[in-house]
Amino acid sequence: AQKVTQAQTEISVVEKEDVTLDCVYETRDTTYYLFWYKQPPSGELVFLIRRNSFDEQNEISGRYSWNFQKSTSSFNFTITASQVVDSAVYFCALSEGYSSNTGKLIFGQGTTLQVKP
């Protein structure tokens, strides 16, 4: 069975601190996709990144970076020099790699990040 675990329920940091959000996943598939989404108070889930199981390269996008390690089944997300606007709930998600199932996302419980000025 597929499962995504975000052990950190809430994190509070002061602006300009770096913060890492953890994500651990379980799947028996060899082909799968991992995602991170941000949910601000408005409710809409904002797409941040999608990685496939064959691409373990870490990725950096501005202040955001992602560390994918298949050996530990983790896909962690780091925000460098956090800002108040980064305050939101962050979700990690997993989908199978087969066409009929790639439209089904399994979400973790989410991590609420509060960045204080």
Partner 1 sequence: KAGVTQTPRYLIKTRGQQVTLSCSPISGHRSVSWYQQTPGQGLQFLFEYFSETQRNKGNFPGRFSGRQFSNSRSEMNVSTLELGDSALYLCASSLERGGVNTEAFFGQGTRLTVV
* List 47, 57, 62, 117, residue binding partner 1 (CB under 8 A): 47
Q: What share of the chain is helix, strand, coil (3-state, %, to 5)?
A: 10, 50, 40
* List 110, 111, 113, 115, residue binding partner 1 (CB under 8 A): 110
In whole angstroms, give the CA distance from residue 51 to residue 58: 10
Q: Name the helix (H) or strand (E) containing 12.
A: strand 10-14
Would you count residue 37 as binding partner 1 (CB under 8 A)?
Answer: yes
Would you count residue 1 as binding partner 1 (CB under 8 A)?
Answer: no
Residues that bind partner 1 (CB under 8 A): 35, 37, 42-47, 50, 91, 95, 97, 99-110
